[in-house]
Amino acid sequence: MVINDKLYGTFAVQPVIEALIQSKPFQRLKSVHQGGAIFLVDPTLNHTRFEHSIGVYYLVRKLGGSLEEQIAALLHDVSHTAFSHVTDYVFKNEGEDYHEAIFDEIINQSEIPSILETFGFTPSVLADDSYTLLELPLPHLCADRLDYTLRDLFYANRISIDQIHRFLNSLSVYQHKMVVNSADMADWITRQYEVLNKEYFRKKEHVYANTRFADLLSLALAKATITTADLLGDDFQLLAKLRTDAELRRRLEAIQKREGIEAFAPDEGAAFKPRSLKPTVVS
């Protein structure tokens, strides 16, 4: 299988990665948007968890991570619900880790364990604290954090492919952690992460879309138009179910038309934690 990624270009993948990409749980991610409900108010921001997951896998592989860590990178978001983190807002989950809480359940109820076993792995390969290229707490740089920063900003026309490739060329690994080779590159990605958090995540239209859609899902659950099981489908399946109810359909259309956005306060219903990035520089 050959992947053509908008950020990283064309590359072939190993047989186990190909089999996992072709699995039903991973294919579902093609219809789960990275930004939750943002695409409802801005259809150009339509990138998905599928693209992001392949991107995280690519970065771990590029930096020499083991095949086990590459597998974990590919599957790290496979348990995301429809509309990604909007579910966390519905359940008032401040840690925004609902998908992590159900990860083992989603994996074990799928064909992923049998695929892994076919290639000589077990599901335990997906949980290893030594995967520090894949994931590290802030303010460290890691593959997950880097890909969504670059991908979100690229789709928002905030950075170019040339800037992305220039930064990727500055990356290396020190003590199994992602580092950059110059203070200039460290400053650049730190600024981009600040832009992402202050001007993308907190953009009025984006907060409006996710907040209002979370309210819509809460109402749909209260009316029993949908159940929590429906959240395990994809965005379009969930939208189709919401549209079966006249009131929910009207509210959905109101979100798409941005009704009431003039009076909407960006911090309404949303809690933003201070987030900053401080990459390690090793020249």
Q: Where are the beta strands (DSSP E) in the chain?
A: 2-5, 9-12, 171-174, 177-180
Return the number of other C-beta atoms located less than 10 Å from residue 229's C-beta. 7
Cα(149)–Cα(61) distance, rounded to whole angstroms?
18
Residue 257 burial (CB < 10 Å; 0-12/13-18/19+)? exposed
Active site residue 85: no
| Catalytic residue selected from 33, 47, 52, 99 | 99
CB of 218 closer than 8 Å to CB of 15: no
> Side-chain half-sphere of 224: how many Cα atoms within 13 Å?
0
Cα(121)–Cα(116) distance, rounded to whole angstroms?
5
Q: DSSP letter string over 231-252?
A: GGS-HHHHHHHHTTSHHHHHHH
Active site residues: 99
